[in-house]
Amino acid sequence: MRIGVLTSGGDCPGLNAVIRSVVHRGTDVHGDEIIGIEDGFLGLIESRARPISHDDVTGLLTLGGTILGSARVQREKIRWAVENSAELAARLGIDALIAIGGEGTLTAAKLFSDAGLPVVGVPKTIDNDIDATDATFGFDTAVHVATEAIDRLKTTAESHQRVMVVELMGRHTGWITLTAGMAGGAHGILVPEKPFDIEAVARMIEDRFRRGKKFAIIAVAEGAQPLPGTLRFEHGEVDRFGHQTFGGIGTRLALELENLLGKEARPVILGHTQRGGTPTALDRVLATRFGWHAVEAVHQGAFGHFTALRHTEIHLTPIADGVVRLKTVPPDRWIESEAVL
């Protein structure tokens, strides 16, 4: 078979490991030809693709980013592509498509699949917010980067008796913040799922200092929100791809805490460092397994499905199950994180 593969949406450590795995399994075991589509759905629309062989994927297991490139695409363009999907696939000469991406990509993959294109999805996102899979690759790497940052911030915070506010990725869900916050022993963990009260955060820090502690670390997700009626803070606008933009909560929080506490506070925005670089061992293995199962799904004709991790097994799951809602941090998980503060 000629199988197209594309990576779409924000990049994430482990994408290259999936591509490598697809090439290994497809070419070695099934005799497939793998066609790498450039820049996500944009390459499908513009017929930009190239065959990828064993040689092209040598060394990819450890390489961050994606050799195929990625892009966000406006919804109208996707709608057009869906209507013309048969012709676009014919132009590239592909019999099936493996689409690797987050919630937006999987939603698009479902539209293509409903329109008759044989598509299998592979979920990726550092945010770990895709429903129906226990984990996505990239998340573990992001958590490691964020945890290391918190560890490092502790020593400088203590030297200067400061409050450090570290803003982590997570627009609608706080998985990275919760996990790295707990792993790094942050004193405050603020996630989008649970609006925070700035006064309560300040009281907690004051209490810490009163007990003789010399610093405090607050981990805040970029999408965290103040409780209504407390701090006034507006997140950004909607960008041209229809996504709400975020940014600024960490800086604002540091400023407000400095004013409320009369102590020095510094914001640290970790941003895209959480998405870059080599994937952790866990992410390499998950990405490799997803690639393996995606090729098998194509050969079983399990189109309209995506590879999902449940416990230790990978299940082919209807894409629809993964895109109905985001997997948010449930209340019992915040409660556990509060217990370790």
| Contact by Cβ (8 Å): 188, 218 | yes
124 sits near ligand F6P (criterion: CB under 6 A) = no
Residues 29-68 that bind ligand F6P (CB under 6 A): none
Annotated binding site for ATP: 10, 72-73, 102-105
In Å, what is the CA distance from 315 to each residue of 129, 136, 170, 174, 308?
17, 13, 26, 25, 5
Beta bridge pairs of residue 164: 217, 266
Measure CA of the first residue to CA of the last residue in the chain; give whole Å.
Answer: 54
- Of the residues 39, 127, 129, 140, only one is catalytic, namely 127
250 sits near ligand F6P (criterion: CB under 6 A) = no
Residue 126: CB minimum distance to ligand F6P, A: 5
147 sits near ligand F6P (criterion: CB under 6 A) = no
Compare residues 18 and 52 and give the one whose CB is closer to ligand F6P: 18
Catalytic status, residue 127:
yes
Given candidates 66, 125, 141, 147, which one binds ligand F6P under the rule CB under 6 A? Answer: 125
Stretch that binds ligand F6P, among 124-132, 202-210, 225-233, 259-267 (CB under 6 A): 124-132
Let me know how long the chain is.
341
Sort 240 into a burial class: Cβ within 10 Å, 0-12 / 13-18 / 19+: exposed
Which of 107, 118, 117 minimizes the C-alpha distance to 78? 107
Which stretches of 274-324 are DSSP H helices?
281-300, 319-323
C-alpha 71 chain-centroid distance = 15
Distance CA(221)–CA(274), nearest Å, equals 12
| Contact by Cβ (8 Å): 71, 39 | yes
Distance CA(86)–CA(195), nearest Å, equals 46
Stretch that binds ligand F6P, among 31-39, 168-176, 284-292, 314-322 (CB under 6 A): 168-176
167 sits near ligand F6P (criterion: CB under 6 A) = no
123 sits near ligand F6P (criterion: CB under 6 A) = no
Binding mask 201-240 for ligand F6P (x = CB under 6 A): ---------------------x------------------
Compare residues 27 and 280 and give the one whose CB is closer to ligand F6P: 280
C-alpha triplet 275, 101, 66: angle, nearest 5°: 55
Complete DSSP assignment for 41-71: HHHHHTT-EEEE-TGGGTTGGG--S-TT---
Stretch that binds ligand F6P, among 90-98, 115-123, 166-174, 257-265 (CB under 6 A): 166-174
Binding mask 63-102 for ligand F6P (x = CB under 6 A): ---------------------------------------x
Compare residues 246 and 306 and give the one whose CB is closer to ligand F6P: 246
> Residue 324 is encoded by which pair of tokens?
């109905």
Compare residues 36 and 102 and give the one whose CB is closer to ligand F6P: 102
252 sits near ligand F6P (criterion: CB under 6 A) = no
CB contact set of 175 (below 8 Å; sequence gap of 6+): 127, 128, 129, 139, 327, 329
Given candidates 38, 127, 140, 296, which one binds ligand F6P under the rule CB under 6 A? Answer: 127
Strands (E), 128-209: 163-168, 188-190
# residues near ligand F6P by CB under 6 A: 11
Given candidates 170, 188, 267, 279, which one binds ligand F6P under the rule CB under 6 A? Answer: 170
What are the catalytic residues? 127
Q: What is the binding site for ligand F6P (CB under 6 A)?
A: 10, 102, 125-127, 169-171, 222, 246, 275
